[in-house]
Amino acid sequence: MGQILLLSVSGHDRPGLTQSLTSILAAHGARILDIGQAVVHDTLALGLLIDAPDKSLALEEDILRKATQFEVAAHFTDVTEQEWQSWLGRASKQRFVVTVIASALTAQHLADVSAAIANGALNIDRIERLSSRESLAESGRACVQFHISGQKSEPDKLRASFLKLAQETGVDIAIQQESQYGRSRRLIAFDMDSTLIQAEIIDELAKMQGVGEEVSRVTEAAMRGELDFKQSFTRRVGLLKGLPESRVLELLDRVAITDGAERLISTLKSQGYKTAILSGGFTFFGLHLQSKLGMDYLHANELEIRHGIVTGNIVPPIMDGQRKAEKLQEIATEMGITLDQAIAVGDGANDLPMLNLAGMGIAFRAKPVVRQSAQHAISTLGLDAILYLLGMRDRAMP
């Protein structure tokens, strides 16, 4: 190798600058060993690590002359052989992506996240904004990603510190290994009640039947993991006995879809994803939602109705947490993909089996026990915040 140099360029970003500089490097026979560029508020920061010929004075003069023409600053730094070898050795570092999501992000939020990264003996390699150009503190939705690395990182401890920080600050913080992060996901499966829709259907039916408070208490205990789902579900459905089918169908137009759901699903379908509803709720509403959102798969519980009246029974088998996980596996097998390529989203304890089975499990506006156990949690924005976890930018979304 010849002389190793780091070329640093900064100033107002202008079209043609990178092309002009790399053309000069090419004319002098220089090799580019590394390159990085960022633009913040039209201000450029460009770095090129180059292997220059032994006599590089003419190269440096040509670069500095061109930089002056573009009204930017350029600076060369000598890189020793030892520094070069040390840089190469750090290629084996573990790499992670930390995604910070909130309705607004303050300097204190970013300082707290940066401190947690530093305390974990990790280095920040790159920071990117995924949300739109509006102020991070005022836009109503904000997302920043930190690309970090380290030699002796402990992701479980870092995840725990981020979870604690999220609880204290009210922002969502997710960490993923870079090897797991990317565009290989192909399937996303959702719980329905309180995830895709803004209600628990069984609770709404119970209100119609006049047993709302009793059923809600059992529902809450089951979602917290305090009761066996099958037993509690059977008990709750039994209280619906005698409800007219006409009243049941009234819910189709009354229960709202969760904010961001339509944008999320339409975007993922445009990217080739398959979508599924895996629900402990009821098929009558699941079929309505599947048609409205264009979902590919639906597995839920069938509420037995005879002669226009709810019988208080469920057509077996009951769709509990274990069966949700089994159905996720079945769909992945049918698609010919691995579970690492699957995403599962839910809010209750009966969602944990599929959240833990999927390559990416996301607790959405979830109960505390679910947030503690899931890989990732989103509570501050709508369902379309999941797109940020996949590295998508606002400007690339519909």
**Residues identified as active-site:** 191, 193
Give residues with Cβ within 8 angstroms of 380, minimum separation 6.
101, 102, 103, 170, 171, 172
112 sits in which H/E element: helix 107-119
Contact 221, 227 (CB under 8 A): yes
Give residues with Cβ within 8 angstroms of 340, minimum separation 6.
180, 184, 359
Neighbours of 135 (CB within 10 A): 11
Q: How many CA atoms lie within 13 A of 147 on its CB side?
A: 12
Q: 3-state class of 48 per DSSP?
A: strand
One-letter amino acid for residue 83 of the chain: E
Q: In Å, what is the CA distance from 52 to each residue of 3, 25, 58, 148, 301?
A: 5, 8, 11, 29, 68
